[in-house]
Homo-oligomer: A and B are copies of this chain.
Amino acid sequence: MFSRSIAHILRKPSAFQNLGQLRFKSTTLSELSAQKVKVNKSNALKPLVPAKDLVFGKTFTDHMITAEWEEGQGWKSPEIRPFENFKILPSAVVFHYALTCFEGLKAYKGKDGKIRLFRPDMNMKRMNNSVSRIALPSFNGDELIKLIGDYLKIDERWIPSERGYSLYLRPTCMGTQETLGVNPSSRALLFVIGCPVGPYYKTGFAAVSLKATTEFVRAWPRGTGSSKIGANYASGILPQQLAAKEGYQQNLWLFGDEHELTEVGTMNLFILMKNEKGEKELVTPPLDGSILPGVTRDSIIELAKEWESETGIKVVEKKMTMPQLRDAIKKDRIVEMFGAGTACIVSPIKCINYEGEDLQIPLDPSNPEEQAGPFTKRVNKTILDIQYGEVEHPWSVVVN
């Protein structure tokens, strides 16, 4: 019964772009335009928070970007205005039907004083897929990148300049129709807030222990797992809490009766291993429609492919089950494992609890003091160098 053609379509990140355009076909609506931006600066700038006191997602800059959308009209003039309370009726659909999606990216300040974004086009493309999946309006991603540039110049003092520090940006789009019908929202609000963040590991790497979750599933075929919508996150809080209660920092998401590996908490998963022929492979679960297409994931795959002739490590996007991983761990075929995401770049994994058993993952066999293996460290350093502009790379976009 499973429709192969649909499965094929759903695997493509662009699958929903056309669906999301359904409502816009016959009228000419205003597009999101950075040129139309209205700037209303705060007259009560907040004191900066010392770098050592930064906590992820806690401190916000003085301003934010907002843009309203209304059915039949399109996007209104965007605004850069003080970061402050939204005033919104209790009947707004975002409060009831979880009509929201978001992105996470960072602005980096290099030694040359320039501000850079890392592959922001990938975030814009993914966000347009996300809005379409929940029937919110799409927008021109280049225009939002321009608006983010304007915002960054206004709030530049909030962008930390030390390596490892950055300004985390959170574009969000939500349904703001204030009536309760379970229908496409007739109003939407796109906004971007920013918060200065420190390095994920303040004192070098800290490898994490994972609890493999068998009693909850994150996503499924023909569901929403490949869209960055709020709905995918709500269900993960409890499994994460249960893992934490047992002393594991994150949970490892499995899928199906065979316990396929899918994601780590809110990160993509990478396994550097030797296959049965003794060849080195970098394995990561494939984008089958239930896995978030991470920007860091994509970047690591590209880098590892570039390095292949030198490292002999082949990138393999394939399904792998937890029993297969357990078997490989016990046969000493696992070299390194890590999660990958915007917040941390890479998060080395040292242990997985599966069906009651703690499976130990190697970090750096040459040095028991180290919290990450050489491949994990190389990935991290290479991406950091690109993000801070220490090497020239097309992924790094200077904000002019």
Contacts and interface: CB of A to CB of B under 8 A. Distances in A.
A245 B25 CA distance: 12
Could you say how many copies of this chain the assembly holds? Answer: 2
Among A55, A193, A245, residue most surrounded by chain B Cβ atoms (within 10 Å): A193
A94 B91 contact: no
Which of A90, A229, A236, A265 has the most B CB atoms < 10 Å from its CB? A90
Question: DSSP majority for the A interface?
Answer: loop
Given A57-B180, A179-B57, A180-B56, A223 B230 contact: no
Contacts of A172: 90, 95-96
Contact of A83 (B60, B90, B234): B90
A98 interface: yes
Contacts of A266: 182
Interface stretch (A44-52, A157-165, A212-220, A385-393): A212-220
A237 B230 CA distance: 14
Interface in A208-228: 214-217, 220-224
Contacts of A234: 97-100, 134, 224, 229-231
B3 A215 contact: yes
Chain A, interface residues (CB within 8 Å), range = 35 or more
Closest A-B pairs by Cβ, 5 of them: A57-B180, A98-B230, A231-B231, A98-B98, A97-B233
Given A19-B242, A87-B87, A238-B133, A223 B222 contact: no
A170 interface: yes
A216 B134 CA distance: 12
A73 interface: no
Q: Which of A19, A224, A231 has the most CB of B within 10 A?
A: A231
Interface in A183-222: 183-184, 191, 193, 195, 214-217, 220-222
16 contacts: A1-B214, A2-B257, A22-B241, A22-B242, A55-B179, A57-B181, A85-B87, A95-B230, A96-B102, A97-B237, A132-B238, A183-B237, A216-B222, A217-B222, A224-B234, A231-B232
Given A3-B215, A85-B89, A86-B87, 12 more contacts: A57-B91, A58-B179, A64-B90, A91-B193, A91-B195, A95-B230, A100-B234, A134-B238, A135-B241, A217-B221, A220-B220, A223-B235
A346 interface: no
A182 B241 contact: no
A245 B214 CA distance: 39
Contacts of A174: 95
B94 A95 contact: yes
A10 interface: yes
A57 B97 CA distance: 13
A48 to B, nearest CB: 17
A224 B215 contact: no
A352 B94 CA distance: 30
Interface string A4-33: 001000100000100100110000000000
A13 to B, nearest CB: 16
Contacts of A83: 89-90
Nearest to A322: B1
